[in-house]
Amino acid sequence: MSTFPEHDLRPAPAGSSMWHPFADMHAVKSSRTTLVRAEDVWVWDNTGARYLDGTASLWYTNVGHGRAEIVEAIARQLGTLDAYQCFGDFANEPALRLADEIARRAPMDAGKVFFTSGGGDSIETAAKLARAYFAARNQPDRTILLHREHSYHGTHGVGTALAGIDPNRVGGPFVPDVVRVPAFDAEALDRVIGTLGADRVAAFFCEPVIGAGGVLAPPPGYIEAAAAVCRRHGVLFVADAVICGFGRLGNWFGIERFGVRPDIVVFAKGVTSGYQPLGGIVAAGHVAEPFWDEPGRVLRHGQTYAGHPAACVAGLVNIEILERDGLLDRALKMETVLEQALQTLVDHPLVDHARGGIGFLGAIELDADRLAEAPALPATVMHAVRRNGALIRPMGTAMGFSPPLTATEEHIDLLVDTVRTGLDEIHRAPRSSLSNGRSAS
């Protein structure tokens, strides 16, 4: 008999040596929030406190927490074929089936799916594939990767180079031939490609709605115009749907919202709603062709856990739930509810404005004067809201929201009320009591 359940119930040691991502460990080492349980839109910590999950963890618990169907399917899979690699000619049933389910929903012809373990892995894959595709098409000088201001594409080598959030480039950029363009200016994109020479540019990386950069929805027409510029110059359009996919924008890959047919789509997070780590790319038929139809050409790329059967089973059941429970349509309906709810916060002295309206995600931008006085204000707001029972994320100068797609109007009302209570507490506190430290995000 396994000793796991006993082990599971033991409280975690104080002063653990775990180094948290994106964390000020000096502060975190003495003050962690240790979560022990989750159900639908709720999570509990080890003191018994319950929180409304206003961010679906890190933008991914799209079907909500605690779905027994997914958990049981994973357990069944681990009990039959626990794991086996997919390099060369190996495969497993869940990986084969999930690839087909994803390809048939992707907004491109004859899509081929390459699995990875997460978003950053998938960005690396897309970048390497874009360059390898042009090399195979006798255009080896097409190596430049374009990315946008404010963009977030993970923290691997390529993602660090493609970071439009400057602090995230520290230590990088690791990858040559990367050029940044303005976030919302298709004419500038056209000019940059013209200046560089189209015969040097491989791909343009584009989040349909910029997520971690602050929840920035594109102005009308921008995505369509940028895609048209890429098409005209023969540059591959890579839609980074890591946040926007699997329902967040009311469809499968976010980019359909703009009627664009990308050359490559990058996905992760919502593909399993986080029940297992999984990511991947879909390459349109014409991008996959040199590797699928010409003998002897190998894309020398892949991660150990690519196509892991337990992760792929989680993806299969997750897609079934998204469809059966109508969660894509629900996200569309809830995007307006969330946006209107966030707008009610703009009268607060700590809030400058609210953003949202495309997809079930949004942000409130904090007041610039208060931020100048207390740069750690976003972290202070996060903690105050947490003390009052809800989880939201600091993102630069804003606070981000992306609840599970199962959240109801009542949940959103409660979320916004809790945020207001937290903001009020900070506003009433003496200004000198606000930390002047650094925000971790």
Ligand X SMILES: Cc1ncc(COP(=O)(O)O)c(C=O)c1O
Binding region for ligand X (CB under 6 A): 118-120, 123, 152-154, 207, 211-212, 240, 242-243, 268, 279
Residue 237: which H helix or E strand, with range? strand 236-240
Q: What are phi and psi of 178, to 5 degrees?
A: -125, 130
Q: Report how far residue 278's alpha carbon sits from residue 114's, in angstroms, rounded to the nearest whole number.
A: 11
At residue 218's C-alpha, the angle toward residues 216 and 222, to 5°, is 155
- Minimum Å gap between C-beta 289 and ligand X is 26
The nearer residue to ligand X, 218 or 422, going by C-beta atoms, is 218
The nearer residue to ligand X, 335 or 367, going by C-beta atoms, is 335
Q: How far is CA 387 from CA 45, 253, 422, in A?
A: 12, 35, 8
The nearer residue to ligand X, 119 or 422, going by C-beta atoms, is 119
**DSSP state string for 126-172:** HHHHHHHHHHHTT-TT--EEEEETT----SSHHHHHT-SSGGGGTT-
Q: Report how far residue 4's alpha carbon sits from residue 9's, in angstroms, rounded to the nearest whole number.
A: 9
Q: Which residue is nearest to ligand X (CB)?
A: 119
- Minimum Å gap between C-beta 186 and ligand X is 20
- Minimum Å gap between C-beta 205 and ligand X is 9
The nearer residue to ligand X, 279 or 422, going by C-beta atoms, is 279
Residues 95/103, Cβ–Cβ less than 8 Å: no
The nearer residue to ligand X, 321 or 361, going by C-beta atoms, is 361
Nearest CA-CA partner of 255 in 206, 288, 211: 206
- Minimum Å gap between C-beta 251 and ligand X is 16
- Minimum Å gap between C-beta 116 and ligand X is 9
Q: Report how far residue 201's alpha carbon sits from residue 181's, in angstroms, rounded to the nearest whole number.
A: 13
The nearer residue to ligand X, 63 or 243, going by C-beta atoms, is 243
3-state SS, residue 376: coil
The nearer residue to ligand X, 111 or 208, going by C-beta atoms, is 208
- Minimum Å gap between C-beta 136 and ligand X is 25
The nearer residue to ligand X, 73 or 123, going by C-beta atoms, is 123
The Cβ-side half-sphere exposure at 305, using a 13 Å CA radius, reads: 13
- Minimum Å gap between C-beta 195 and ligand X is 27
- Minimum Å gap between C-beta 108 and ligand X is 19
- Minimum Å gap between C-beta 123 and ligand X is 6
42-45 and 35-39 beta bridge pairing: antiparallel
The nearer residue to ligand X, 229 or 266, going by C-beta atoms, is 266
The nearer residue to ligand X, 134 or 205, going by C-beta atoms, is 205
Q: Report how far residue 15's alpha carbon sits from residue 21's, in angstroms, rounded to the nearest whole number.
A: 16
Question: What sign does the dihedral 237-279-271-34 (CA atoms) show?
Answer: negative
Is omega for the bond preceding 173 within 30 degrees of 0, making it cis? yes
- Minimum Å gap between C-beta 403 and ligand X is 16
Residue 283: which H helix or E strand, with range? strand 279-283
Residues 155/139, Cβ–Cβ less than 8 Å: no
Residue 351: which H helix or E strand, with range? strand 351-355
